[in-house]
Structure 1
Amino acid sequence: MKLALNEVGGRVSIFTLMEYAVKKLEYYMLRIQLYQLDDTGKGYITKKGLMLYICRKLETENRYWNTNGKDEYPLKIFYFESLASEIFFVLDPHRTNKIRIVELLDSRYLPNILDQFSERLMFSKFMRKMAAFMAMDEDGNECIPVASFCEKFPALSQNLLGNGERRQLMDTFLYRLVQIYGDPEIDKGKISFETYMDITFAFENLKYSFSSICYFFRVLDVDNKGYLDQMDLQFHYRNVQDYMEQKTGISIKEHEQQRFANFKGIQAQISDLLAGEGGLNHITPAKLFKVRNGHMLIEFLVDVAQSLETQDDYYQQASADSSFPDNDLKTTNNPNHSSSSTTSNENLADNDLMNLSTPPPSISLKNEEGQGDVPLDSGLVGV
């Protein structure tokens, strides 16, 4: 009946009927093959099971490599793992390591990826990421030290992510990300290939993907309460300040007027970003995705380059608008501010900010009563 509605006279073309029958047959064959990999019998498939299916399906494909060559086998395994990781990244935003087989079939992600496997563009994209991973893997043990990632990722990110943007991630953020998402079988402070691929997927799709927002949101949610409040925002904002103080050797507290905007002014910008979606004490992933510009808040808290750009915009607005909040931060009495700020910004953009040799000490933040510390890894679960 569904086919007859689209045909003239209520009759169905033989070619239309055959095409429909073939698609249905492929659907049920794929469904049976996936259910064979369901270890629990509850209708779910794990990432390991999905990777096994992809290996079986594509192991005879030899378009871009010689399957008889021993050196090419690890490359194929990495490629198949990246395909499975991409599907799970989109369909498993809460990182449960399982997907309902019915949802996997309805999403059409798996058939689309299998159909695009032979496309040169898809393979070239994987090879760029693989080359960057090997460049950061100093000892060749298939994992990247956080220090090496911080040092080399900014230069590689412009070509790696495909959008020309330079990403500068803080070491404190990466250590926490590894604690949450890292492979327990790998030494702490090192990024596995799977985690590396997830980071690239998250940045590539951050502007329009709910899964990407959830990925970074869990790292930013220090107490694992399911939402961000002002304490979380201030905590990560302080991390940016401490990081820049470590790199420049300048005390942010003493020179805050010259280089950094006041956090209260940043709060005003965040409030404008979340206009109509409540205050700053209950920011959820759904709220960030709904406002469509929620990715800007995440970039501000995790990306040093974006954070500096946001704070520069705030300072310029504060200098031009006498009614802007905390206008006492304007340095109209300091004639050297403009040149020193510009010079500092250019040096930060040109120099390599990511040379980290040892993990930084735990960063703490005073609570609202001015007592006690909020440790960096407080409230972690699933580590």
Structure 2
Amino acid sequence: MASWRAALHRCAEQPVHDSTEAQNEEYEHGPQREIQSGIPRFFVKKKVPSSELAQKFGEAAYAEFISFQRNSLLSNEELDILWDALLERATGETDEERQISYADFDQINSTLPAKFRSFFKPSCYMRFVEEDDGTISVLQFFNYVLRKVSLLQARLDLSVYDDDRDGYLTEEDLQRYVADLIPSLNLHTLSKSFHKFYLCTASRKFGFFLDPMRRGKIGIQNILLSPILTELFELREPELPKDYERSNWFSAYSSLRVYGQFLNLDTDRNGMLSRSELGKYNSGSLTDLFLDRVFQECQTYGGEMDYRTFLDFVLAVENIQTPEAISYCFRMLDIKGEGYLDEHTIMYFFKAVADKMMSMGHETVGIRDVKNEVFDMANPQMSDRITLTDLIKCGVGGTIIKMLCDVQGFWSYETREVPDPSKTTA
């Protein structure tokens, strides 16, 4: 009966926008003097409570609102009731085959409590009609309910940490959220002394992918729509496959691996990484030129990199095909700050790769040949320059970046298996 519960925390669906009509009115129709000046209004100053009493009243009202919304959600027991009611009127032998008609759908609606009503609207039924006889899949409908409940539950859980109730969470807010989740996650092998490093590791992935402008806050809606939250919720499973544990950023194995890398690189044990220490990352395959640019563009402290900045670096390198990682690395490649890479920039960076390969005993590589290949791969809008948009749109932007910065990355590309056209079948 309750076999569906494992899916409860893995499902998500687009949320309803939480902007109120009053907020929209305020944003769209700002003060008349701003309209007359011709400058559009792009910032609305948040109203600060006029007194401590007003602040306490606001917090109490918000807490009451959250409590009311929680009570309106379907509990596990109520989901069991819904599943049993659907099965009772469904036709078909297996879960995948079971169908239900609108007449039965409407009859179930009349027998269930009022809090089920939002799921039994005609419009909700129509979105699942695929069969010629007008029936819908019981499993698809029930999974929809699960996704809706899971989404609303996650939204309420995250909203608790939104202290200023603006719909955004800071990295510190996310760390508090993850800290409260830890007891329910499969992280039993982590010692309590490591928790602070785990929280930094976990929250940084949200920040890297969901706060590209580095504003210091992330919209709750963006968090809910992101697969990152789903990846975190997967740790609620009591048993994780080994391969999944290695690929999930939030697993105990992954967090210990990344922190272990940092400790191994930190040879002087000062809790920071110097330029020479980071040079040993990934067996020293990254070029000196690229690493120099990393230290020029990223935040450092006395010329050294802290753990948080190192996490950004690792997330970019390990997720190099994502738009966020490509954007991160593009900052390093755009050495002139012009917003594009020209032929000279491409050859400048690849020469560092070619020189490093020669020092390792490899044969000389034609720099101009690689430059031409890079432009062919990027297929830029303008023939003499490659923009960030070109790199993201071409689908192989991450490969291009590795070719220009990483000896192993270029070697992997150079020795890739190319399909033989004569052996392909029609």
Length-normalised TM-score, structure 2: 0.55
Alpha carbons of structure 1 residues 143 and 88: separation in structure 2 relative to 1, 3 Å: same
Matched AA of 1:57: L
Query: How far does the alpha carbon of each residue in 1:84-133 deviate from its partner, in whole angstroms, 9 at most, with x for none?
Result: 22233233344444322212112242143123255541322332222222
Larger mean CA deviation between 8-17 and 92-101 belongs to 8-17
Matched AA of 1:112: E
Q: Contact 1:3 / 1:12 at 8 angstroms: preserved in 2?
A: no
Alpha carbons of structure 1 residues 223 and 43: separation in structure 2 relative to 1, 3 Å: farther
The alpha-carbon deviation at position 22 of structure 1 amounts to 5.8
Q: Does 1:168 align with 2:289?
A: no
Q: Contact 1:234 / 1:263 at 8 angstroms: preserved in 2?
A: yes
The alpha-carbon deviation at position 298 of structure 1 amounts to 0.8
Secondary structure of 1:191's partner? coil
Secondary structure of 1:105's partner? helix
More relative contact order, 1 or 2 (CA 8 Å, 6+ apart)? 1
Where does 1:186-197 land on structure 2 (aligned, <5 Å)? 186-188=301-303, 190-197=304-311
The alpha-carbon deviation at position 3 of structure 1 amounts to 4.3
Q: Partner of 1:293 in structure 2? A: 396
Secondary structure of 1:228's partner? strand
Q: Contact 1:92 / 1:211 at 8 angstroms: preserved in 2?
A: no
Q: Partner of 1:216 in structure 2? A: 329
Secondary structure of 2:181's partner? helix
Q: Partner of 2:234 in structure 1? A: 115
Residue 375 of structure 2 is aligned with which of 252, 256, 271?
271
The alpha-carbon deviation at position 54 of structure 1 amounts to 0.9
The alpha-carbon deviation at position 19 of structure 1 amounts to 6.5
Alpha carbons of structure 1 residues 13 and 212: separation in structure 2 relative to 1, 3 Å: closer
Alpha carbons of structure 1 residues 15 and 178: separation in structure 2 relative to 1, 3 Å: same
Q: Contact 1:143 / 1:192 at 8 angstroms: preserved in 2?
A: yes
Q: Contact 1:168 / 1:303 at 8 angstroms: preserved in 2?
A: yes
| In 1, Cα distance between equivalents of 2:330 and 2:188 | 37
RMSD between superposed Cα atoms in Å: 3.8
Query: How far does the alpha carbon of each residue in 1:310-332 deviate from its partner, in whole angstroms, 9 at most, with x for none?
Result: 7999xxxxxxxxxxxxxxxxxxx
Q: Contact 1:92 / 1:99 at 8 angstroms: preserved in 2?
A: yes
In structure 2, runs of 5+ residues without a counterpart are 1-121, 246-250, 417-426
Q: Partner of 1:201 in structure 2? A: 315
Where does 1:62-211 land on structure 2 (aligned, <5 Å)? 63-65=187-189, 72-116=191-235, 120=240, 121=245, 122-151=251-280, 153-155=281-283, 168-182=285-299, 184=300, 186-188=301-303, 190-207=304-321, 209-211=322-324
Count of residues in correspondence between the two structures: 282
Alpha carbons of structure 1 residues 178 and 53: separation in structure 2 relative to 1, 3 Å: farther
Q: Contact 2:399 / 2:413 at 8 angstroms: preserved in 1?
A: no
Secondary structure of 1:206's partner? coil
Secondary structure of 2:273's partner? strand
Where does 1:284-363 land on structure 2 (aligned, <5 Å)? 284-307=387-410
Query: How far does the alpha carbon of each residue in 1:11-39 deviate from its partner, in whole angstroms, 9 at most, with x for none?
Result: 88999887755654443343244344446
Where does 1:6-21 land on structure 2 (aligned, <5 Å)? 6=128
Q: Partner of 2:340 in structure 1? A: 227
In structure 1, runs of 5+ residues without a counterpart are 67-71, 156-166, 251-257, 314-383
